[in-house]
């Protein structure tokens, strides 16, 4: 493969490319804002965060269509995550009766039930929001302590925010609900998404001698390998584990890492390139 074409393209159009992810970020924020206004929360929440009852049937088999289930149990909301069928119910529903109905319909698999009280789930939801915000603030502090310069630090934090917000918007389009495993994955994403940015920023700020595009290329080689390794491990986890919790976590991290690549190598790299050029000009002039 000839990477020179990419390299030339990249080196020539880095300025407009910087804005690509910023536009995506803006679109994502609009989607999330719309969700918040229309539905009261940025992502649809799972039973753990709204309260109610849930029957999940792992490794389910059901030959008739899912609409057969909604016909038989009109109050239920039915969805599928990986190989797991999830039936959400009100907190007043009788889950044993509904489980019986499902079994009568011929839904086979491993049944488990869950009940979460409404006030308890409210508390969990409040803590979940605090956790995301706190995690983001703590991450930002670490970045500032690490680089101690304003523009590069802000660029890394912006990139982290892009990863989280764009991923959340994609999850909302995919109709993935915010559950506790999804929350855990989003927080993990806050931590891991900036890894590649740290590699990039360190390379640019702490290496003397080489030109800026050369430094970005070196950082990119390392960074892309890192992301690929993480993606490889998570994809393996998604397909081999066959477990809904592990699959949810893998989904969020895979989406996040895919977003992280353009966010790091287009936006963050673009901002740093502009910053480095300006600094060199200042030093020269």
- Distance (Å, whole) CA 259 – CA 232: 15
Task: Name residues contacting another protein, limited to 31-50 (CB under 8 A).
Answer: 48
- For position 148 contacting another protein by CB under 8 A, the verdict is no
Task: Name residues contacting another protein, limited to 91-130 (CB under 8 A).
Answer: 110-117, 119-120, 123-124, 126-128, 130
* Nearer to another protein (CB atom), residue 27 or residue 228: 228
Contact 249, 184 (CB under 8 A): yes
- For position 234 contacting another protein by CB under 8 A, the verdict is yes
- For position 86 contacting another protein by CB under 8 A, the verdict is no
* Nearer to another protein (CB atom), residue 143 or residue 170: 143
- For position 143 contacting another protein by CB under 8 A, the verdict is yes
Task: Name residues contacting another protein, limited to 11-30 (CB under 8 A).
Answer: none
- For position 202 contacting another protein by CB under 8 A, the verdict is yes
Q: Can you tell me which of 22, 29, 105, 135 binds another protein, judged by CB under 8 A? A: 135
Q: How distant, in Å, are the alpha carbons of 31, 68, 195, 223 from that of 230?
A: 28, 40, 12, 11
In the chain, beta strands by DSSP E:
52-61, 77-81, 84-89, 108-116
- For position 221 contacting another protein by CB under 8 A, the verdict is yes
- Distance (Å, whole) CA 229 – CA 182: 21
Site size toward another protein (CB under 8 A) is 73
Contact 172, 31 (CB under 8 A): yes
Q: Can you tell me which of 27, 72, 174, 228 binds another protein, judged by CB under 8 A? A: 228
Across 43-52, b (16+ Cβ under 10 Å) vs e yields: bbbbbbbbbb
């Amino acid at each position: 493969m000839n990477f020179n074409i990419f390299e030339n393209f990249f080196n020539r159009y880095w300025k407009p490319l910087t804005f690509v992810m910023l536009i995506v970020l803006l679109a994502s924020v609009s989607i999330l804002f719309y969700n918040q206004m229309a539905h009261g929360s940025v992502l649809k929440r799972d039973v753990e965060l709204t309260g109610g009852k849930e029957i999940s049937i792992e490794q389910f088999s059901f030959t008739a269509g899912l609409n057969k289930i909604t016909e038989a149990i009109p109050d239920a909301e039915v969805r599928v995550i990986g190989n797991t069928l999830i039936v959400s119910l009100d907190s007043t529903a009788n889950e044993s009766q509904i489980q019986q109905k499902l079994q009568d319909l011929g839904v086979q698999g491993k049944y488990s039930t869950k009940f979460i009280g409404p006030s308890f789930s409210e508390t969990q939801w409040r803590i979940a929001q605090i956790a995301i915000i706190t995690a983001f603030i703590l991450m930002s502090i670490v970045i500032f302590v690490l680089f101690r310069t304003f523009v590069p630090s802000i660029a890394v934090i912006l990139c982290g925010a892009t990863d989280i917000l764009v991923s959340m918007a994609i999850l909302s389009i995919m109709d993935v609900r915010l559950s506790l495993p999804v929350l855990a994955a989003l927080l993990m994403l806050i931590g891991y998404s900036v890894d590649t940015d740290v590699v990039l920023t360190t390379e640019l700020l702490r290496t003397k001698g080489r030109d800026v595009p050369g430094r970005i290329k070196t950082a990119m080689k390392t960074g892309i390998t890192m992301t690929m390794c993480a993606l490889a491990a998570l994809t393996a986890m998604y397909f081999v584990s066959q477990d809904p919790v592990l699959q949810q976590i893998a989904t969020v991290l895979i989406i996040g890492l895919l977003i992280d690549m353009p966010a790091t190598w287009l936006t963050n790299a673009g901002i740093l390139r502009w910053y480095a050029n300006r600094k060199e000009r200042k030093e020269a002039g």
